[in-house]
Amino acid sequence: MFRGSMVAIVTPFKNGRLDEEKLKELVEFHLKNKTSAIVPCGTTGESSTLSLAEHERVIELVVETAKNRIPVIAGTGSNNTSEAIRLTKHAKEAGADAALLITPYYNKPTQKGLYLHFKCIAESVDIPIILYNIVGRTAVNMQPETIAQLAREFKNIVGVKEASGDMEQMARIKLLSPKGFLLISGDDTLTLPLLSIGGVGVISVVANIIPQDTAKMIEEFEKGNIKKAQELHYKMLPLVRSMFLETNPICVKTAMEILGMCAPGLRLPMCPMDKENFSKLQIALKDYGLLRKKKK
């Protein structure tokens, strides 16, 4: 159910407010373009700049628009355990199929603290939970042993989105965790390598603009067409790298603006790209074939 190309969907804004109609359009776009799950209110969805009311509304809108045609994995993490429980309960009540919970940021909890945080949530809300490990955002790395312990002890902790960038760590999670525990890439550049060690897919940034190719790469790998999967990986790689010229989601939202997919709209402290990086992004979009090159 939670595998393949799962998009970390952006949150569109218009005049500083949530653009509800555009969000619904984007969900429909992914339904038509082979995305296998929608993940609202993650890092790419600028969850840290949403009010609690907006956060809940985004999840409600995505669930309502999806209409059970595609799984919805709601971002419900927080550095406040009580708030994470509240958001996760709301996601379940709204009809989300699972919750994605980032490790608590800023607090820098110990491994015991991480274990107790997720234990408390898993015992409070009966919904499939996917852990989200991204040390670059949170300043704390959840060790494979901690992840495996949570996976063994709580049946509703079903997987992890791994964005540590450490392939050895990801392999150790796979080795130590129960059979069927989902290992999901949190980094588009590592999706194919992760599939090779037993990963099931990606929660993707670049799928916001190239959902079919992201899905196709995973599909070809699963069919055993490794060469074709590799070709797609290397085709996508320069575009993927351009998504991180500046802090995510600045580049992907700018790309969507350039491609006419949504209006410009980032919330401070996210800000417009500098001119040099903007030019690099435009070149990457043109080279990929998403923008027509100007005739000389």
Question: Is there a domain that residue 270 lies in?
Answer: no
Q: Indicate the number of domains in the chain.
A: 1
Query: Tokens 């150790």, residue?
Result: 172
Contacts of 287 (CB under 8 A, 6+ apart): 238, 239
Question: Is there a domain that residue 281 lies in?
Answer: no
- The half-sphere exposure of 144 on its side-chain side, counting CA atoms within 13 A, is 14
**pLDDT at residue 293, as a whole number:** 53
> 183 with 174: CB under 8 angstroms?
yes
CATH code of 203's domain: 3.20.20.70
Check pLDDT > 70 for residue 145.
yes
Question: Is there a domain that residue 184 lies in?
Answer: yes
Question: Is there a domain that residue 199 lies in?
Answer: yes
| Catalytic positions | 132, 161
Cα angle 187, 216, 186; round to 5:
10
pLDDT in tens, 210-223: 999 999 999 999 99
Which range of residues forms the domain containing residue 97? 4-223
| Omega before residue 249 within 30° of 0, cis | yes
Mean pLDDT within 144-165: 97
Question: Is there a domain that residue 290 lies in?
Answer: no
Question: Is there a domain that residue 190 lies in?
Answer: yes
**pLDDT at residue 295, as a whole number:** 39
Closest to 76 (Cα-Cα) out of 49, 56, 53: 56
Question: Is there a domain that residue 287 lies in?
Answer: no
pLDDT in tens, 98-121: 999 999 999 999 999 999 999 999
Question: Is there a domain that residue 111 lies in?
Answer: yes
